Amino acid sequence: MLGGMGALATADFYRRLVQRTPAGSDQAHLPVLVWADPAVPDRTAALLGEGPSPVPALAEGARWLQRAGVSCIAVPCNTAHAYVEQLSGATGAGVLDMIRAALETAARRVHGLERVGVLATRGTRLTGLYERAGARLGLDVVQVPASVQEEYVDAAIRAVMGGADPTGPERWIATAAESLQGQGDQAVVAACTEIPLVSGAAARVLPLVDSTDALAEAAVARLWRPTSGVRTGERIG
């Protein structure tokens, strides 16, 4: 796992990975290596031209994981996926596609899904990661208005990363989900790994897909052999 972006989101992803692995004992779980570097430069700031690129720090972590023998890498940060192509080019690392996994999960869960809203960082919005992936899947991806982004989504993400009381952030994310509902969206993707931590109320507004969950499920699908009931022996990093 190439983590630390942020620290709580990394811990949350590992918990979900364990929960979704159909292991019958401790010994049967997937072997996992974690490189969690909270000093990785802010991904959104870099995309907005307000900070250094995170690629060198990401590549350092990926190379450490590769030397340890991992077979695939999970990056529990949506915005960091804007740099996956550069990361793979620099290291040859195989990275699970969190963006596609989240949208495919939404399509499976909501019958006839055509229009899906996304709650994400400004950096993820800027890159169009979800829009491009949605187009390949035949989905119309919609963002909240800029005012809602700034007042509610950005504020909630900052609060969660800062360890604030979750009451306010949960209310703000629900308000953002109501905005998407008003735009005709049939579902919403929590497309920042901090957002699922405060998305309980939003899930009562629209069917909500947790991108962290989707990534965990993709990792299990990649490494687990359900027919034999045992793990592959491959390591996820």
User: Quick check: is 77 catalytic?
Assistant: yes
Helix (H, G, I), strand (E, B) or coil at 192: coil
The 8-class DSSP code of residue 30 comes to P
On whether the CB atoms of residues 192 and 124 are closer than 8 A, the answer is: yes
- The candidate with the shortest Cα–Cα distance to 92, out of 118, 63, 115, 114, is 63
Catalytic residue among 40, 77, 216, 219: 77
Copy the structure tokens of residue 145.
């208005």
**In angstroms, rounded to a whole number, what is the distance separating the alpha carbons of residues 9 and 26?**
23
User: Quick check: is 72 catalytic?
Assistant: no
Catalytic residue among 47, 62, 192, 202: 192
Helix (H, G, I), strand (E, B) or coil at 145: coil
3 bridge partner residues: 36
CA distances from 69 to 16, 113, 163 (A): 22, 39, 34
Residue positions annotated with a catalytic role: 77, 192
